């Protein structure tokens, strides 16, 4: 796998793990950066470098999207505007039930548009039904946070670590917390607009019956919080104007 030092030299992270996709997409803004695979996912491999980082800590170590229980097929993945904006285009594989294809490959187009701003990661999920029939759509995002520092990500073994805090769930999303040895609490909070259908401490789900030719959209905001700072909600549109 390529060494990503050439793209973000000051962080000196070497991607040494073996992943399905060798290419790493990088976003950077201020004290926050993200390393993702071409699908826009973060894989929770202990020796891997994927993650959402803020102020020297990996706040998000897993962020994996499935469509109707399966990984979508990759169409394209590009980073634009000097590592500011990530665009990923995906589609569904043939989806079968009882040995028959129920949803043909390419019936659904899924786009992920992502950027960072002021310690937050903003993502817009859009699903377009190109078939002639309504299609049940379930998007599921599995999440986790290890709160590893950059030395741990590089492979340093710590004799002591802080403790994970109890996850907080609401109708709008999830907060995962960690109390460090420095006695500082760190939280990563994922909020969704509109609200997801189901929220678990490690997963959120969006369910809808998408009519033929129609589009459904969800906006996700992932906030990295040090000392549990309360911050007002910022919309995807507002943040996009600011970052551009």
Q: Provide the token pair at 40.
A: 């826009």
pLDDT for position 110: 98
Longest dimension (CA), the chain: 58
SS3 241: helix
User: What is the pLDDT confidence band of residue 1, given thresholds at 50, 70 and 90?
Assistant: very low
Cis bond leading into 194, ω under 30°? yes
* Residue 47 pLDDT greater than 70, yes or no: no
* Residue 5 pLDDT greater than 90, yes or no: no
Please tell me which residue, 11 or 163, carries the higher pLDDT value.
Answer: 163
User: What is the pLDDT confidence band of residue 20, given thresholds at 50, 70 and 90?
Assistant: very low
Q: Give dist(CA 130, CA 211) in Å, integer.
A: 9
HSE (side-chain half, CA atoms, 13 Å) at 107: 20
Q: Give dist(CA 54, CA 63) in Å, integer.
A: 16
Q: Which residues contact 241 (CB under 8 A, 6 or more apart)?
A: none
pLDDT digits (tens, 9 = 90+) for 134-193: 999 999 999 999 999 988 888 888 889 999 999 999 999 999 999 999 999 999 999 999
Q: Give dist(CA 125, CA 206) in Å, integer.
A: 11
pTM for the full predicted model: 0.87
8 Å CB contact between 54 and 224? yes
What is the average per-residue pLDDT within 82-107?
Answer: 92
Q: Give dist(CA 190, CA 54) in Å, integer.
A: 15
Residue 17: phi and psi, rounded to 5, are: -80, 160
* Residue 12 pLDDT greater than 60, yes or no: no
* Residue 13 pLDDT greater than 90, yes or no: no
C-alpha separations of 134 from 48, 73, 85, 100, 140 in Å? 39, 20, 31, 17, 19
Pairing of strands 203-210, 135-144: antiparallel
The percentage of residues in the chain with a pLDDT greater than 70, rounded to a whole number, is 88
pLDDT for position 177: 96
pLDDT digits (tens, 9 = 90+) for 191-215: 999 999 999 999 999 999 999 999 9
pLDDT for position 16: 35
pLDDT for position 4: 39
Over the chain, what is the mean pLDDT?
Answer: 88
* Residue 10 pLDDT greater than 60, yes or no: no
Domain ranges of the chain: 4-243
Q: Which of 191, 181, 175, 223 is nearest to 54 (CA)?
A: 223
* Residue 46 pLDDT greater than 50, yes or no: no
SS3 170: strand
pLDDT for position 243: 86
CATH number of 4-243: 2.70.98.40
Q: Give dist(CA 148, CA 162) in Å, integer.
A: 10
């Amino acid at each position: 796998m390529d060494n990503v030092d050439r793209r973000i030299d000051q962080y000196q992270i070497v991607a040494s793990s073996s992943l399905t996709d060798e290419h790493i997409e990088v976003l950077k803004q201020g004290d926050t950066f993200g390393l993702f695979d071409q699908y826009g996912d973060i894989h929770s491999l202990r020796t891997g470098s994927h993650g959402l980082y803020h102020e020297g800590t990996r706040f998000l170590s897993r962020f994996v999207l499935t469509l109707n229980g399966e990984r979508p097929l990759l169409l394209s993945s590009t980073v634009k505007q000097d590592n500011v904006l990530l665009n990923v285009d995906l589609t569904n594989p043939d989806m079968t039930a009882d040995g028959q294809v129920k949803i043909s490959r390419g019936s659904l187009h899924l786009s992920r548009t992502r950027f960072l701003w002021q310690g937050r990661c903003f993502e817009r999920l859009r699903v377009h039904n190109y078939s002639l029939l309504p299609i049940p759509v379930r998007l599921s995002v599995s999440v986790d946070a290890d709160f590893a520092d950059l030395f741990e990500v590089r492979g340093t073994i710590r004799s002591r670590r802080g403790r994970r805090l109890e996850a907080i769930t609401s109708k709008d999303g999830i907060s995962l917390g960690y109390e460090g040895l420095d006695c500082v609490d760190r939280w990563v909070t994922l909020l969704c607009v509109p609200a997801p259908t189901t929220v678990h401490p490690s997963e959120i789900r969006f369910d809808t019956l998408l009519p033929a030719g129609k589009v459904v959209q969800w906006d996700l905001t992932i906030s990295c919080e040090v000392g549990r700072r309360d911050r007002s909600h910022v919309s995807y549109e507002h943040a996009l104007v600011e970052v551009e």
